[in-house]
Amino acid sequence: MALPKYENIIAKDNYLADSETGNKVVFYECDPKKNCECADKGMCNPLSAEDSRGVGGCSKTVNPAFRKDGGRCWFAVLKTPEDGEPYWGREYIEEA
């Protein structure tokens, strides 16, 4: 299965999806030590909590080879709290 290209990720039905396949994109918590694709490791944010909504560096990848050991996978879903602004949250995927 081919990995989605970041430039092809779009919003679709309140999820982030691959514009070429229409499938929801699976995200993984990234381990910068495994990730050999990102040129600017200064953007990494490996110390943030997995469910952190903080602004800042990157802590996710679409490549399972770069997945942090023990990290969970999820779909990005648009959430709107009753008294707040919409944000991209996580819908965790149960793994067998």
Q: How many CB atoms lie within 10 A of CB 44?
A: 18
What letters, b where the CB count within 10 A reaches 16 and e where it falls short, cover 15-30?
bbbbeeeeebbbbbbb
Q: How many CB atoms lie within 10 A of CB 67?
A: 19
In tens, the pLDDT along 37-75 reads: 776 666 566 555 544 444 445 788 899 999 999 989 999
Report residue 89's pLDDT band, with 50, 70 and 90 as the boundaries. Answer: very high
pLDDT (0 to 100) of residue 43: 58
pLDDT above 90 coverage of the chain, percent? 52
